[in-house]
């Protein structure tokens, strides 16, 4: 999101809070989120792909909504769902019709495809959905199939050679030069967040915990515009609680949006987010570690300087965006979950992961660590080995969420190993640590040492996160003066 | 007395009145700060606040960069900030004989590492002045072809206590019409006007190219670009300190041209019109010497690429037709003789293969060779008053 996006979102949110009739709020949010999905999508080199990918997001959301409906729901859509479906299709067609507007007035990344082919594509999508339902019905297997499709899509998009292969295939379809295919051809706005939200709803349905959601609620949850680019990854049942609280003021006093406390909270969060992102993070970006300057650093001290700049840049950039998302959410009547809680001031790695990208680490804890630990323990794997394996797998998944590359794998393993060592150490030092309560000065010193060590460990880990693997090795050794 | 308890005090519920008061106070503060900024114009003072030479080493050459992200360097207009970021801003050491090397992009060192420039090679020579002081050379070149820019920089750099000025020049910096073209000159209108008045330069102080700031331009909002540049210069200081890089070095570059069209024109002049005496800004050269006062100045007619390619009988290089350059050289010597300016003419001293992407940019070897040619002459005049 650029400043212009944020300014327009803020202004739009204020108008929404002040003037939108309460009964229309939910609908307006869905419409705004759909338009924002196309507006924020980066321009792509493959013809019409920057229109097709947001459309695919909507199609995926609608399809997964269908398979995650409670089994007891009637097979036919109710009135609201039919309206939502019609509205989605209408919006996609309307957005494609904006191709006739002047370029500066178009909300799409580039000129959209013409209306008839878009209408035909929507019709084919609908027919495919109908045929699949006729063939397989809505059964448990559909949930598993949805999971497989989402994970497969995720792997393809996040694995550079696979993404480049897919890009080449798409270039072949559009008659473009396949030799120029690159993973960046498939820069799909918010897909990482969308996919994890979709997977969350599938798993919750499989566990029978997902509340019944209307199509409008579900689509809005998946593509909620303040959180589409940088999270947080909210939970559906929490999101829908806020959504349903957007009732007429007479029926729900909490539904008045334009109140002084709300404006103060939203203004404060958005202002803080803008400062973090556009002043601090963008300034630090001028000297933050990257693949070029890592090879130019003249000393170990210089590399540490670049690395610290990267560590703080990453935090202020990401947490700044989160603040903006939360602030916009407040204006719109949603209390999005916090994603950061002073992570660099935590005195151990477990606490760091409870305060850094909280919603992603919670997601991984729910859907990877806990089930995997249970399975391993059920299969009589030694408890310590089970914890080790589950922690490594969880951190690997978090690493791979950022991209399938050697650097992210090493970064995930770095943290997995760190968490295991931390647990091993804290299990053995618990009594001693508790005894520190009698010696406050020593406890303070120990806590400070813990903060320092944790920060250093996390910061060293960013080397693998920031750089391609081969550069990262050199930089890592260079930090200790071994290779320069 | 109000207690210092706001950290622990539970937050008061926000009311519309409270919010309105906050907004009004913020607006008033915003207006007041902007007005105060415009009235006080603290930009020069802010430019003198620098982490260079304190936290980071000073730059070996003046800030200039067309690709800041890759060069860890940027072009800005604040002369104070430019000089403060340079190593010349360090206090002069006892026993130091300070030589400022002024000039254009060839002195600054386009495509050259900081330790491959003329100033760097002279500095590496470890020369001693006749009075025994160690000669230290500072690269104050700036990649703009205009004598007025050199005069303006010298005027600012005189505060750095130089003992000698080395000033390589070339014809391309002389056209009078070009003296106020450079953005650095245009954005320092007050300094240029002062020099015009002090030395009676034949330049129009009301020239519209000199940018005058309105009251709004001088507010924080109006100065946001300048303020951001000051901040970026400091931030790039860390990257400069870490990498020693202050310029982007492309893997390949387009070499200076060797073949030319059969065209003998230069700056709208032809062999028929000749080179009118007032076409070149000799008054700026006179002002430069006057500003240097008692300090010795060595004027160097810098090396140029001499082509042997197509139509090289008409042109020495892409910039200079033979007739114009020859006329300039002869005028330079006439003026130098008349005014007593020490001049070293090395225009043809460097082999053609030591020029890179322009008729005056040298390779490291060419740069070293030039330093070797200049040093003996420099040592000779170093002891002269």
Query: Tokens 């900030």, residue?
Result: B81
* A357 pLDDT above the threshold of 60: yes
Phi/psi for A198 (5° steps) reads: -65, -45
- Is B13 within a domain? no
Instruction: Answer whether residue B363 is part of any domain.
Output: yes
Q: Are A221 and A234 in contact (CB under 8 A)?
A: yes
- Provide the terminal-to-terminal Cα distance of chain B, rounded to the nearest Å: 67
- Closest to A143 measured CA to CA, from A82, A237, A63: A63
**Does the residue B243 lie in any domain?**
yes
pLDDT at A483 over 80: no
Note the pLDDT tens digit of each residue in B49-106: 999 999 999 999 999 998 999 999 999 999 999 999 999 999 999 999 999 999 999 9
In the annotation, is A402 catalytic?
yes
The answer to whether B164 and B296 have CB atoms below 8 angstroms apart is yes
The model's confidence at residue A391, banded by pLDDT at 50, 70 and 90, is very high
Q: Are B30 and B22 contacting, i.e. CB atoms less than 8 angstroms apart?
A: no
Q: Does any domain span residue B353?
A: yes
A260 to chain B, minimum CA–CA distance in Å?
Answer: 5
B177: CATH:
3.40.50.1110
Return the HEC string of A220-288. HHHHCHHHCCCCCCCCHHHHHHHHHCCCCCCCCHHHCCCCHHHHHHHHHHHHHHHHHHHHHHHHHCCCC
Decide if B167 is inside a domain: yes
Taking residues B296-308, what's their average pLDDT? 96
Contacts of A286 in chain B (CB under 8 A): 68-69, 72, 232, 235-236, 239
In a domain, B26, yes or no: no
As for the ipTM of the complex, it is 0.83
Confidence of residue B271 (pLDDT cuts 50, 70, 90): very high
| Spatial strand order in the sheet of B343-345 | B134-141, B96-103, B164-169, B297-301, B343-345
CA distance B51 to chain A (A): 15
Is residue B181 domain-resident?
yes
Helices (H), A436-466: 440-466
Compare CB distances from B235 to A260, A287, A298 and report the shortest one's residue. Answer: A287
Q: Give pLDDT, residue A437.
A: 87
Q: What is the mean pLDDT of residues A171-185?
A: 93
Q: What is the pLDDT of residues B313-344, one digit of tens each?
A: 999 999 999 999 999 999 999 999 999 999 99
pLDDT of residue A72: 80
Q: Is the pLDDT at B11 greater than 90, yes or no?
A: no
Q: For A160-173, what is the mean pLDDT?
A: 95
Asked if the C-beta of B21 comes within 8 angstroms of chain A's C-beta atoms, the answer is no
Q: Distance (Å) from the C-alpha of residue B73 to the closest C-alpha of chain A? A: 10
The answer to whether A293 contacts B243, with C-beta atoms less than 8 Å apart, is yes
Q: Which residue has the higher pLDDT, B373 or A483?
A: B373
What is the extent of the structural domain holding B225? 35-249+256-382
Range B33-48 average pLDDT = 95
A304-318, B6-20, B80-94, B172-186: range with lowest mean pLDDT: B6-20
Q: Do B244 and A298 touch (CB under 8 A)?
A: yes
Domains in chain B, number:
1
DSSP letters for A9-32: HHHHHHHHHHHS-GGGHHHHHHHH
Q: State the catalytic residue, choosing from A5, A200, A379, A402.
A: A402
A255 near A247, Cβ under 8 Å?
A: yes
Quote the radius of gyration of chain B (alpha carbons, Å).
Answer: 24
Both tokens of residue B60?
């070996």
As a whole number of angstroms, the distance between CA A390 and CA A383 comes to 10
């Amino acid at each position: 999101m650029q400043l212009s996006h944020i300014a327009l979102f803020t202004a739009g949110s204020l108008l929404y809070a002040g003037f939108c009739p309460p009964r229309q709020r939910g609908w307006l949010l869905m419409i705004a989120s759909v338009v924002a999905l196309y507006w924020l999508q980066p321009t792509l080199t493959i013809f019409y792909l920057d229109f097709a990918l947001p459309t695919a997001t909507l199609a995926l959301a609608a399809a997964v909504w269908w398979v995650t409906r409670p089994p007891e729901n009637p097979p036919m859509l109710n009135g609201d769902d039919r309206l939502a479906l019609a509205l989605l299709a209408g919006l996609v067609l309307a957005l494609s019709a904006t191709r006739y507007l002047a370029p500066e007035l178009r909300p799409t990344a580039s000129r959209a495809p013409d209306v008839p082919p878009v209408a035909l594509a929507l019709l084919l999508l609908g027919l495919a959905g109908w045929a699949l339902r006729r063939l397989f019905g809505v059964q448990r297997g559909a949930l598993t199939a949805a999971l497989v499709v989402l994970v497969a899509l995720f792997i393809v998009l996040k694995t550079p050679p696979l993404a480049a292969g897919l890009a080449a295939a798409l270039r072949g379809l559009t008659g473009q030069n396949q030799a120029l295919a690159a993973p960046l051809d498939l820069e799909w706005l918010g897909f990482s967040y969308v996919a994890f939200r979709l997977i969350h709803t599938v798993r919750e349905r499989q566990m029978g915990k997902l509340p019944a959601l209307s199509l409008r609620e579900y689509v809005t949850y998946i593509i909620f515009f303040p959180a589409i680019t940088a999270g947080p990854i909210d939970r559906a049942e929490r999101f829908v609680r806020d959504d349903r609280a957007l009732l007429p003021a007479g029926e729900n006093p909490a539904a008045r949006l334009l109140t002084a406390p709300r404006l103060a909270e939203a203004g404060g969060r958005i202002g803080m987010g803008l400062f973090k992102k556009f002043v601090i993070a963008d300034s630090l970006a001028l000297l933050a570690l990257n693949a070029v300057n890592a090879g130019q650093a003249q000393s170990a001290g210089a590399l540490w300087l670049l690395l610290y700049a990267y560590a703080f840049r990453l935090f202020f950039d990401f947490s700044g965006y989160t603040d903006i998302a939360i602030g916009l959410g407040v204006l719109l009547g949603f209390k999005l979950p916090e994603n950061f809680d002073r992570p660099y001031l935590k005195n151990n790695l477990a606490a760091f992961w409870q305060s850094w990208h909280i919603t992603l680490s919670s997601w991984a804890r729910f859907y990877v660590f806990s089930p995997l630990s249970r399975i391993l323990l059920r299969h009589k794997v030694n408890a310590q080995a089970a914890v080790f394996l589950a922690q490594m797998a969880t951190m690997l998944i978090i690493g791979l969420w950022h991209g399938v590359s050697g650097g992210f794998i090493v970064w995930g393993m770095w943290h997995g190993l760190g968490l295991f060592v931390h647990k091993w150490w804290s299990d053995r030092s618990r009594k001693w640590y508790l005894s520190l309560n009698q010696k406050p000065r020593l406890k303070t010193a120990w806590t400070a040492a813990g903060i320092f060590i944790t920060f250093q460990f996390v910061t060293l880990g960013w080397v693998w996160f920031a750089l391609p693997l081969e550069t990262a090795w050199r930089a890592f050794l260079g930090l200790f003066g071994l290779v320069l | 007395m109000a207690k210092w308890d706001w950290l622990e005090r539970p937050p008061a519920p926000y009311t519309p009145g409270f919010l309105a008061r906050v907004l009004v106070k913020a607006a008033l503060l915003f207006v007041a700060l902007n007005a105060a900024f415009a009235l006080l114009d603290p930009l020069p003072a802010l430019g003198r606040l620098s982490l260079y030479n304190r936290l980071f080493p000073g730059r070996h050459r003046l800030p200039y960069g067309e690709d800041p992200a890759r060069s860890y360097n940027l072009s800005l207009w604040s002369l104070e900030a430019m000089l403060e970021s340079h190593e010349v801003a360090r206090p002069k050491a006892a026993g130091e004989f300070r030589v400022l090397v002024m000039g254009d992009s060839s002195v600054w060192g386009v495509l050259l590492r900081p330790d491959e420039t003329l100033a760097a090679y002279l500095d590496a020579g470890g020369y001693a002045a006749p009075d025994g002081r160690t000669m230290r050379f500072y690269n104050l070149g700036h990649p703009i072809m205009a004598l007025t820019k050199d005069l303006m920089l010298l005027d600012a750099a005189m505060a750095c206590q130089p003992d000698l000025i080395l000033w390589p020049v070339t014809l391309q910096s002389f056209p009078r019409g070009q003296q106020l073209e450079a953005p650095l000159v245009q954005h320092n209108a007050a300094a240029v006007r002062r020099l015009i008045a002090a030395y009676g330069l034949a330049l129009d102080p009301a020239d519209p190219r000199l940018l005058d700031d309105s009251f709004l331009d001088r507010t924080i909002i109006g100065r946001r670009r300048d303020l951001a540049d000051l901040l970026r210069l400091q931030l790039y200081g860390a990257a400069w300190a870490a990498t020693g890089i202050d310029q982007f070095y492309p893997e390949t570059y387009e070499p200076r041209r060797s073949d030319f069209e059969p065209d003998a024109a230069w700056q709208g002049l032809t062999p028929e019109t000749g080179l009118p005496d007032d076409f070149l800004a000799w008054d700026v050269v006179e002002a430069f010497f006057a500003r240097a006062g008692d300090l010795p100045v060595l004027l160097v007619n810098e090396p140029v690429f001499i082509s042997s390619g197509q139509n090289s009988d008409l042109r020495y290089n892409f910039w200079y037709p033979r007739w114009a350059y020859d006329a300039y050289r002869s005028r330079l010597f006439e003026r130098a003789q008349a005014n007593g300016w020490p001049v070293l003419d090395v225009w043809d001293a460097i082999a053609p293969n030591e020029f890179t992407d322009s008729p005056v940019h040298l390779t490291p070897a060419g740069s070293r060779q030039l330093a070797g040619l200049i040093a003996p002459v420099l040592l000779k005049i170093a002891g002269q008053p």
